[in-house]
């Protein structure tokens, strides 16, 4: 006996419904039960339309990626992956992420073919087995058109400081930062220097002490978040600098060493933050698709 039939039988016994009232009551119950498939159908249609839009966007992205491109840079797994999902949600999120990965990695195994500077032959950069020693500023070409991103790199200070640039429109316009060993010794001996270069001229140099002890020959992991007009820098997971400026809105990342400085650079990765499809990934990462409910639909 169905639930609706039991309800009608109980109503007849409790309220003494006559035949006419029973017919009306049954009609009401039947109309309510028929509403459920309609609601389910509407829900299924909404989900289908949303998924269709996403897959169309993915297809367009794939077509645009089939054209000529620069020498590929190996992908780096995302360090901020979302918690695992099951069923349809996991499949969709994985598909979107595979098409919208904005993360690139450079380990210098291919030399300096992806790096561009004033000295085109890279004669002032020293390339060794598992690292390079930067000289004059060189910009990572795959990053040159980006605006908002996260840069991660691993390097060592060999002499005095380790220097990098971001939002580098070219070798004469960029933001620069130095991680500096200010003095020898085990006590906090670190400093951070930042400035901006416009039309080839350095401006607004700021020197800050850091509560860190730096050593020569030790790997340091540096992360730089570039978002709008705000720039955040951390060393080995510890935030050491946060500042704002709006004069340069777009440009890539680069490295350099000035007179009396020397550093080893082992690897660099960059993750774009403002691609449209990356926003779709973020949106779907918050959705838990009701696979069980969808499977029970008629």
Q: How far is CA 225 from the centre of its chain?
A: 10
Helix (H) or strand (E) holding 291: helix 291-295
Q: What is the pLDDT of residue 276?
A: 53
pTM: 0.62
Residue 29 neighbours by CB under 8 Å, 6+ apart? 4, 7, 8
pLDDT of the chain, 298 residues: tens digit per residue: 555 555 455 545 544 545 555 545 455 455 544 554 555 556 556 655 666 675 566 545 444 444 333 333 333 333 344 444 445 555 555 544 444 457 999 999 988 999 999 765 557 899 988 899 999 999 999 999 999 999 999 999 999 999 999 999 999 999 999 999 999 877 889 999 999 999 999 999 999 999 999 999 999 999 999 999 999 999 999 999 999 999 999 999 999 999 999 999 999 999 998 655 555 554 454 454 454 444 444 4
**103-274: which CATH topology?**
Jelly Rolls (2.60.120)
Rounded to the nearest angstrom, the gap between the alpha carbon of residue 256 and the centroid of all alpha carbons in its chain is: 25
The answer to whether the Cα torsion of 31, 33, 37, 42 is positive or negative is positive
Residue 52 belongs to what H/E stretch? helix 19-64
pLDDT for residue 180: 98
- Return the closest-CA partner of residue 96 out of 57, 48, 148: 57
Do the beta carbons of residue 253 and residue 141 sit within 8 Å?
Answer: no
């Amino acid at each position: 006996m169905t639930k609706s039939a039991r309800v009608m039988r109980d109503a007849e016994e409790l309220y003494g419904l006559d035949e006419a009232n029973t017919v009306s009551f049954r009609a009401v119950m039947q109309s309510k039960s028929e509403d459920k498939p309609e609601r389910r159908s509407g829900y299924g249609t909404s989900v289908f339309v949303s998924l269709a839009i996403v897959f169309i966007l993915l297809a367009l992205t794939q077509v645009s990626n089939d054209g000529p491109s620069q020498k590929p840079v190996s992908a780096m797994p995302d360090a901020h992956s979302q918690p695992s999902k099951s069923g349809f949600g996991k499949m969709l999120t994985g598909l979107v992420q595979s098409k919208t990965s904005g993360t690139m990695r450079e380990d210098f195994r291919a030399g300096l073919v992806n790096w561009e500077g004033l000295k085109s032959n890279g004669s002032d950069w020293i390339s060794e087995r598992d690292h390079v020693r930067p000289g004059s500023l060189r910009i990572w070409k795959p990053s040159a058109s980006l605006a908002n991103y996260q840069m991660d790199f691993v390097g060592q200070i060999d002499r005095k400081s380790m220097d990098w640039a971001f939002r580098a429109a070219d070798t004469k316009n960029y933001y620069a930062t130095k991680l500096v060993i200010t003095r020898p010794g085990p006590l906090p001996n670190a400093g951070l220097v930042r400035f901006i270069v416009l039309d080839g001229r350095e401006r607004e140099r700021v020197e800050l002490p850091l509560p860190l002890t730096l050593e020569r020959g030790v790997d340091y992991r540096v992360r730089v978040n570039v978002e709008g007009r705000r720039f955040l820098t951390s060393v080995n997971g510890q935030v050491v600098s946060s500042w704002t400026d709006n004069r340069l809105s777009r440009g890539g990342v680069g490295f350099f060493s000035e007179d009396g400085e020397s550093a080893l650079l082992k690897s660099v990765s960059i993750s774009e933050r403002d691609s449209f499809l990356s926003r779709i990934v973020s949106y779907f990462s918050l959705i838990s698709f009701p696979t069980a409910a969808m499977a029970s639909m008629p």
